[in-house]
């Protein structure tokens, strides 16, 4: 999931911040409010950059995947679904919704939830995860 996040969030976020017009022409995302557009781009770029670190230490950066899972789910439930119900759904969001749903499924599969909810004793350290050769 980290690799996909780097590709999608990192590259799209970089384009949104550095060249909003290019991002708009590639993805047909409206740029009416450049501050919000830039905010979304900055967030996606930050998530993409943190995912680079997640390739090296996957368990340490699970909160990045958890953040993605939560914000994408919240956006679909509280923004997209009401827009569909109110007939104010924009067709440009369909590819984003499909991509987000794929990421939600991938994050649910990839996130080791048991490590998030296990109780850690104060003063004890986790065993370091084995590193993989690149």
> Would 26 be classed as within a structural domain?
yes
Look up the domain containing 99 and give its range.
Answer: 2-117
Task: For residue 50, give the nearest of 96, 1, 105, 119 by alpha carbon.
Answer: 1
- What does the pLDDT look like over 19-57, one tens digit per residue? 888 877 777 766 677 787 888 889 999 999 999 999 999
Residue 106 lies in a domain: yes
Q: 64 pLDDT band (50/70/90 cuts)?
A: very high
Decide if 86 is inside a domain: yes
Q: Answer yes or no: is 131 within a domain.
A: no
The model's pTM is 0.76
Instruction: Tell whether 124 is covered by a domain.
Output: no
Structural domain contains residue 17: yes
* Counted domains in the chain: 1
Domain membership flag for residue 61: yes
Q: For residue 69, tell me if it sits in a domain.
A: yes
């Amino acid at each position: 999931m980290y690799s996909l996040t780097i590709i999608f969030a990192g590259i799209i976020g970089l384009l949104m911040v550095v060249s909003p017009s290019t991002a708009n022409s590639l993805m047909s995302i409206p740029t009416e409010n450049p501050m919000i557009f830039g905010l979304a781009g900055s967030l996606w770029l930050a998530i993409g950059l943190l995912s680079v670190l997640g390739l090296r230490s996957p368990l340490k950066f699970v909160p990045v995947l958890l953040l993605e899972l939560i914000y994408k789910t919240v956006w679909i439930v509280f923004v997209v679904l009401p827009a569909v119900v109110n007939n104010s759904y924009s067709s440009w969001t369909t590819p984003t919704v499909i991509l987000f749903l794929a990421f939600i499924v991938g994050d649910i599969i990839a996130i080791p939830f048991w490590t998030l909810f296990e109780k850690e004793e104060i003063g004890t350290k986790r065993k370091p995860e084995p590193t993989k050769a690149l």
